[in-house]
Amino acid sequence: MSAALPQDGGRGTQAGRAAWSADAPLIEHRSLASEIWRRFRQDRFAVAGLVVIVLLVAVAVLAPWIAPHDPTKQYDEGLTAQGMPVGPSSQFWLGTDTLGRDLFSRLLYGARVSLVVGVFANGFALLLGVIFGLVAGYFRGWVETLLMRATDVMMAFPIYLLAVALVAVLKPSIWILILVIGIVYWTPMTRVIHGEVLSIREKEFVDAARLTGCSDARILVRHILPHLVAVILVYTSLGLATTILFEATLSYIGLGVQPPTPSWGQMISEGQPYYLSAPHLVLYPGLAIMITVLAFNLVGDGLRDAFDPQQRRR
C-alpha cells in the first residue's frame, strides 16, 4: 500500500493541527547565506573576530590617509642622544623604531603587506587545492593516485625549509612570497576537498546529472562545487590566519618584503635585539599579528559551526 503524501499539509492529524495553529512559529523560507549569517551572528566571538577583520581591512586600505607619518622617514628626533628608539610621545604615538621611524605608521602599512600576502597567497593555494582536489576526487584512477601522492610528498616536506630555499634562489619580493606560500600551502585544502568530493560524487543528484547528459566539467562546476562552499569558506578563513603567520615568519628571517617597506614580521626581527631596552618594538607588531590571527581563527571557527547542521543553537 503506497503512503500517499498528505494533501492537506498535515493539517488532517491532531499534531499537524497543533503545528499549523495560528500561534505556531512562522517557518519562513531563508536562503543558505542568510541562514548561515543568522547562525554566525549568534556566536559573539566570531562576530568580534569579524569586526576586527573589517577594521583591519579598513586600516590597511586607508593607511596612506590615516598614517600620521611616512613609514620610511628616519627622524633625527626619533632617536635619543645615545641612538636608542624613543617611547610614545605626542609626535610618535607608539614611539619610534631603531632608525627613528614612527612605529604606528609602520604598523598601519605593515597591515597592508600582511593582508595582501594573506589574501593572494591563500587565494592561490585555494585555487590549486580546489582544482587538484576536485579532479582527484571525481576522476579517481591514476589521476587521483598521482595527485594525492604528490600531495603527500609535499606535506612531508619541511615547509619552512622549502620556502627558505625557494626564496633564497629567487629574489625576495612580495610576489615571490605570495607564490612561495601558495605553493607550500595548497596541500591541506587538496586533501579536504578530495575527501568531500569522494562523498559527494556518490550522491544521487550526481548520477542524475550524468544521466541527463551533463559533461564532467559541468558536473564538477555546476553540481559538486556548490556543495564545497562550506568547506572552502571555513578552510580559507583558517588558512588566512596561517598564511599571515607564515608571512610574518618568513619576513622575520629576512625573506619577505625588503626594507624599508615595513612588515610586521620584519619589524619584530629588527626590534628583537632591543627587547630588554625598548620592548615596544616587538610588543606592538607582535600584538598586531596575534590579534589578526586570532580574529581569522574565530571567524573560521564561527563559520564552521554555522555550517554544521547538528550545531545546537544557543
Partner 1 sequence: MPAPLPSPRRRRLLPLLTLLVALVAGLAACGGSATSGGEETVPQQGGTLVMSYFTEPSSLDPAIAYNVIDWNVEHAISQGFFRYAAKPGEAGTRLEPCLATEVPSVENGGISPDGKVITIHLRRGVKFQPPVNREVTAADFKYSFERMLRAPLAPGTSFYMGVKGARAYYEGKADEVSGFEVVDPYTVRITLTSPDLSFLQALTMEFCDVIPKEWVAKWGKKVNRHPLGTGPFMFDHWTPGQEVVLVRNPNYWEEGKPYVDRLVYQLSYNPSTAFLKLQNGEVDVLGDGVPIADLARVKADPNWKDQVYSQNLIAISYVFMNVGMKPFDNLKVRQAVSWAIDRDKIVKLLGGEATPLWQVYPPGMPGHQEGKVYYGYDPQKARRLLAEAGYPHGFKTVYYTDNVDPNPRLAQSIQADLRAVGIDAEIKTVNNNTFYQLQSTPGKCPMGSFGWWMDFPDPVDWIIPLFSKSSAVPGGMNSSFWWHPKLEKMLAEAQSLTDPEARLAKFVEMQDFIMSQAPYATVYAPKQTTMCSKDTGGFYLHPVYQFDPANYWKK
* Residues engaged in binding partner 1 (CB under 8 A): 72-74, 76, 79, 81-84, 98-99, 254, 258-260, 270, 272-274, 276-278
Q: Which residue number, 67 or 99, has a Cβ lying nearer to partner 1?
A: 99
SS (H, E, C) 193-233: HHHHHHHHCCCHHHHHHHHCCCCHHHHHHHHHHHHHHHHHH
| Least gap, CB of 279 to partner 1 (angstroms) | 11
| Least gap, CB of 74 to partner 1 (angstroms) | 5
Nearest-5° Cα angle at 158, 155 to 163: 105
Say which residues have a Cβ less than 8 Å from residue 176's Cβ, sequence separation at least 6.
166, 167, 170
| Least gap, CB of 76 to partner 1 (angstroms) | 7
Q: Is there a contact between 85 and 106 (Cβ–Cβ < 8 Å)?
A: no
Say which residues have a Cβ less than 8 Å from residue 56's Cβ, sequence separation at least 6.
111, 115, 292, 295
CA-closest candidate to residue 138, choices 213, 232, 221, 226: 221
Q: Which residue number, 145 or 272, has a Cβ lying nearer to partner 1?
A: 272
Residue 258's identity, in one-letter code, is Q
| Least gap, CB of 278 to partner 1 (angstroms) | 7
Residue listed under C-alpha cell 492537506: 8
Q: Which residue number, 66 or 168, has a Cβ lying nearer to partner 1?
A: 168
| Least gap, CB of 70 to partner 1 (angstroms) | 11
Q: Which residue number, 249 or 258, has a Cβ lying nearer to partner 1?
A: 258
Q: What is the dihedral of CA 94, 97, 101, 107, to 10 degrees?
A: -60
CA distance 136 to 142: 9
| Least gap, CB of 301 to partner 1 (angstroms) | 37
Q: Which residue number, 272 or 311, has a Cβ lying nearer to partner 1?
A: 272
Q: Which residue number, 82 or 212, has a Cβ lying nearer to partner 1?
A: 82
| Least gap, CB of 145 to partner 1 (angstroms) | 40
Q: Is there a contact between 163 and 250 (Cβ–Cβ < 8 Å)?
A: yes
Q: Is there a contact between 248 and 118 (Cβ–Cβ < 8 Å)?
A: no
| Least gap, CB of 124 to partner 1 (angstroms) | 25
Q: Provide the sign of the torsion angle of the four alpha carbons 245, 246, 250, 256, taken in this order.
A: negative
CA-closest candidate to residue 104, choices 69, 80, 77: 69
Q: Which helix (H) or strand (E) holds 23?
A: none
Q: Which residue number, 98 or 237, has a Cβ lying nearer to partner 1?
A: 98
Q: Which residue number, 106 or 201, has a Cβ lying nearer to partner 1?
A: 106
| Least gap, CB of 171 to partner 1 (angstroms) | 9
Q: Which residue number, 49 or 71, has a Cβ lying nearer to partner 1?
A: 71
Read off the C-alpha cell for 292. 589578526
